[in-house]
């Protein structure tokens, strides 16, 4: 299982909403154009983000989106969960209970009380991944982008979205 491209689209676009003034919004058309991605698909992603309370939408011709809460309160996991849903990555089917030995009703080793070690390991691994994603916020992402991208690139990105709000 892998996360859809919608998670990446969402995270990239959400970081652009950090620096806009509180009364400003950015439209899907502008976000999609800047990223060079499908406006239709991005609209579906932002619908999910709005439903999850990560962004708020302003309807209409001049409508768009803004963050619904502070960037420090929005984690990578929030975005993953909004876009992908809450289903676990690993789906244990308890096939251990279908083995040859478990077909004997009197065989105690196959009782439901014995946990599936494979499932427990997969749950532990998935929880580790979720923990990392819960500890990365949009604020962290914005700071990392300031660190790894050129100041000119960051400035031009901010100017691009500022110019949209002035027109």
Q: What is the pLDDT of residues 78-134, one digit of tens each?
A: 999 999 998 888 887 777 666 666 666 665 556 555 778 888 899 999 999 999 999
Nearest to 79 by CA among 141, 133, 18: 133
Nearest to 137 by CA among 77, 85, 83: 77
The CA–CA distances, whole Å, from 48 to 28, 52, 78, 124, 148 equal: 13, 6, 11, 27, 29
The CA–CA distances, whole Å, from 86 to 48, 83, 89, 100, 167 equal: 13, 9, 9, 34, 39
125-161 per-position pLDDT tens digit: 999 999 999 999 999 999 999 999 999 999 999 999 8
pTM for the full predicted model: 0.85
C-alpha–C-alpha distance, residues 103 and 78, integer Å: 43
Question: Which pLDDT score is estimated for 2?
Answer: 77
Q: What average pLDDT does the segment 36-40 reach?
A: 95
Query: For the domain bounded by 5-166, which CATH number is listed?
Result: 1.10.10.10
Would you say 52 and 82 are in contact if contact means Cβ atoms under 8 Å apart?
Answer: yes
């Amino acid at each position: 299982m892998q996360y859809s491209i919608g998670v990446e689209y969402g995270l990239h676009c959400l970081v652009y909403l950090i620096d806009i003034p509180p009364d400003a919004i950015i439209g899907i058309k502008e976000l999609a154009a800047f990223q060079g991605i499908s406006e239709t698909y991005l609209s579906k992603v932002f619908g999910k983000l709005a439903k999850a309370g990560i962004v708020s939408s302003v309807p209409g011709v001049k409508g768009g989106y803004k963050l619904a809460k502070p960037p420090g309160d929005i984690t990578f996991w929030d975005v993953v969960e909004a876009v992908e849903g809450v289903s676990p990555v690993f789906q244990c089917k308890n096939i251990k209970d279908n083995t040859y030995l478990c077909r004997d009703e009197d065989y105690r080793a196959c009782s439901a009380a014995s946990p599936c070690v494979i499932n427990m390991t997969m749950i532990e691994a998935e929880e580790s991944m979720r923990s990392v994603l819960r500890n990365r916020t949009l604020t962290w992402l914005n700071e990392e982008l300031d660190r790894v991208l050129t100041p000119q690139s960051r400035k031009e990105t901010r100017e691009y979205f500022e110019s949209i709000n002035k027109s």
